[in-house]
Amino acid sequence: MKYLEDIGKYFMMLGQVFKRPQKGRVFYEALIKEIEELGLKSLGIIMFISFFIGGVIALQTALNLENPFIPKSLIGFAAKRSIILEFAPTFCSIILAGKVGSYITSSIGTMRVTEQIDALEVMGINSLNYLVLPKVIATVFFYPFLIALAMILGIFGGWVAGVLSGLFTGADYIEGIQTTFNPYLIRYAIIKTLVFAFLIATVPSFHGYYVKGGSIAVGKASTQSVVWTTVLIVIANYFLTQMLLT
């Protein structure tokens, strides 16, 4: 029953979020700030993880292809597919759900328990619109770029790993990543990213906005929001894959 109530509350929250901002200039300033907080400040971790995971994917693929009849270029091909289809959009979004999700919940939750949200409401400001809409726009606008960067760095990491380990040559790897390039897969990955970005902004906002209690409640809400965002990303990933690829 509680879950149903929360789902209803979540959609009612979205109804308040997607209203015209009360003041364009204030919204624009908040949007720029959120792009920096939620997007630019995540660049480092995404670049670091993408590079190394790309390397690991390439190494694992190479180590599992022992049959001499299988061309080495298949390593690059398999690594490229894994990175574009799953690693970059899904794995990176789960990392962002942890990093950005906990930040969103704790910042909005702290505003709730310290009456800052009440202060906004008393001033006559639609607090959900003011606090959440810039986050949604920032993530939905910026994360596709972040994921595209993760794809490039992941593939590059695979090439570096191969060359350094000697398990395959750079030429084989490049041949593999150039084999049967299907632009639809990029579109698929971007569509997934947009949905995940929306979840990363709204689910933690929901948990932060409706928190009740003090600092412990904010901490619990942060944990819950990361868990729920991850669960929803995984479920959405399954349905999107079925809808878009089968």
Partner 1 sequence: MIDVKNLHKGFGGVQVLKGITTNFHPGKTSLIIGQSGSGKTVFLKSLIGLHTPEEGTISFDGRVSTNFTNEERRQWRQEIGMVFQGSALFDSQTVEENVMFPLKMFKKQSQKEMLERVNFVLDRVNLTNSNKKFPAELSGGMQKRVAIARAIVMNPKYLFCDEPNSGLDPQTAIVIDKLIQEITDEYQITTVINTHDMNSVMEIGEKIVFLKDGRKAWEGSSNEIFKTDNEAVVSFVYSSNLFKKVREAYLNEKNL
Residues in contact with partner 1 by the rule CB under 8 A: 22-23, 25-26, 110-111, 114-116, 118-119, 121-125
Q: Would you say 8 or 115 has its CB closer to partner 1?
A: 115
Residues of 177-203 as b/e, b for ≥16 C-beta within 10 angstroms?
Answer: beeeeeeebbebbbebbebbbbbbbbb
CB nearer to partner 1: pick between 24 and 183: 24
Least gap, CB of 187 to partner 1 (angstroms)? 37
Shortest spacing between CB 113 and partner 1, in angstroms: 9
Decide whether 41 or 187 has the Cβ nearer to partner 1.
Answer: 41
Contact 78, 180 (CB under 8 A): no
Smallest gap from residue 29 Cβ to partner 1 (A): 9
CB of residue 117 vs partner 1: minimum separation in angstroms?
9
Q: Is the Cβ of residue 155 or residue 221 nearer to partner 1 in the bound state? A: 221
Residue 26 or 231 having the CB closest to partner 1:
26
CB of 121 to partner 1, least distance (A): 6
Smallest distance from the beta carbon of 23 to partner 1, in angstroms? 5
Q: What are phi and psi of 71, to 5 degrees?
A: -65, 145
* Nearer of residues 7 and 121 to partner 1, judged by Cβ: 121
